[in-house]
Amino acid sequence: MTQPTIAVYIGFQTTTGFGTPFQLNNATFGLLDTGTLGGLQFADVTQYVQSVNINRGRNRQLDQFNSGTATVALYNVSRIFDPLNTASIYYPFVLPRCPIFITANGITIYSGLVTDWNLDYDLANEDMMYVACADNFTVLSNQQLNTFTPSAELSSVRVSTILARPEIVYQGQTDITTGSSTLGAFEVTQDTNCLDYLQNVTTSEQGFLFMSADGTLTFYGRTKVLNNVAAAIFNTTGTGIPYQTLVNQFGDELLYNYIVTQSPAGAKQTNTDATSISLYQAQNYNLLDLLNSTVVEVNGLGAYLLGKYSTPILRFVGLSTTMEALNITNQNICLNLDLTDVISVEKTFVTGSPASVTQTMIVSGISHNITPSQYVITYTFESTDGNAYMTLDDTVFGILDNNLLAF
């Protein structure tokens, strides 16, 4: 078995040396059907690639998803990627904000923008170019909202409202699924950071906001990942995808038994678990800038968080697998996994009881480390247990068939 086939494409503006752009009054390039009409064209730079490192996801379950980053090392002895080289076919368009995407076996595993061209001049003329990249979160993080007051609306509608604002007009692809929380008609103050506000919407929903591998801005409500069929099964018994390392976590990293929540709708709401406090002492978690429209919903969100985090649970939190050890079918399953996909992991033991443990989780982080000799994918996971607890008499968390019963 071999590594997946890697390809890297960078978008450059067309020049007379690259892309044969259309040129008025030119005997060759002024003819129709002989070139392109200028603008962006993707160049396959795979032949120069020495290594690829991709990191996407979040570090901790209660954090927001980060901007996905990538670093591509390019062999640059020809100076084709040197911005100072006027003989380069890409000159003068080796610039920040060039779009880039990376594929493995034809599957897109990263899409973003070049943020830095870091050129390493070597005294032996073995120059390297290290291309630093970030996904479109970097665009949203540099945009500000003007003052306005939105209507009371579902969290998913609020995301669409923000992206359509005249000062934003987001131009990328989106995948926005229906949320469960209703957000209030609370004023957005002048120069509010766009990404910060969208992440606050996500917190108020307890949903998911991230850039997918193909660059789609994705918003999922909290019920999106409930009861889904596992997209991949990992084990070491020969019936699933084999893994090389498995990490678990059993501590107080996600132990919270004293939850305080608030939105502009009203006073602070407190939810506590006396049994948990007696065992572990009070562990506080505060969310005081929520956008939920009513005190009842704010309180329900606190109850949901309490049910989810008041008791420590041993969780499988990550594994790594080597692509060379997999057949192409399993390679493609791994390459197609994206953030929030549901997976199943089985750990078997040679002693003790039980003989095996299986956990179903969601993918919260993906890293690709690719060199000519090895391709390793590392996943981090979050537990799916308690993603939506039933809260009696609550307008959102008390709806049957939309939540889980908490015990």
CATH number of the domain that residue 241 is part of: 2.40.30
CA–CA distance, 373 with 362 (Å, rounded to integer): 29
Does residue 390 lie in a domain region?
Answer: no
Residues 300 and 320 in one domain: no
Residue 228 has what pLDDT?
72
Residues 215 and 299 in one domain: no
Neighbours of 179 (CB within 10 A): 27
Neighbours of 208 (CB within 10 A): 22
Does residue 405 lie in a domain region?
Answer: no
Find the CATH number of the domain harbouring 154: 3.55.50.10
Is there a contact between 117 and 79 (Cβ–Cβ < 8 Å)? no
Report pLDDT digits (tens) over 279-298: 999 999 999 999 999 999 99
Does residue 227 lie in a domain region?
Answer: no
Residue 14 has what pLDDT?
84
Range of the domain at 269: 258-309
Is the pTM above the cut of 0.85? yes
Residue 295, SS3 per DSSP:
helix
Q: In what order do the strands lie in the sheet with 269-272?
A: 269-272, 258-261, 284-287
Residue 278 has what pLDDT?
97
CA–CA distance, 71 with 100 (Å, rounded to integer): 11
Residue 179 has what pLDDT?
94
Residues 16 and 79 in one domain: yes
> At which residue do the structure tokens 């906001």 appear?
209
User: Residues of the chain whose pLDDT is less than 50?
Assistant: 29, 386-392, 394-397, 399-407
Residues 243 and 333 in one domain: yes
Does residue 175 lie in a domain region?
Answer: yes
CA angle 244, 245, 250 (to 5 degrees): 160
Residue 407 has what pLDDT?
30
Does residue 207 lie in a domain region?
Answer: yes
CA–CA distance, 380 with 385 (Å, rounded to integer): 16
Residue 396 has what pLDDT?
47
Q: Phi and psi (nearest 5°) for 362?
A: -110, 150
Count: domains in the chain = 4
> At which residue do the structure tokens 């020969």 appear?
238
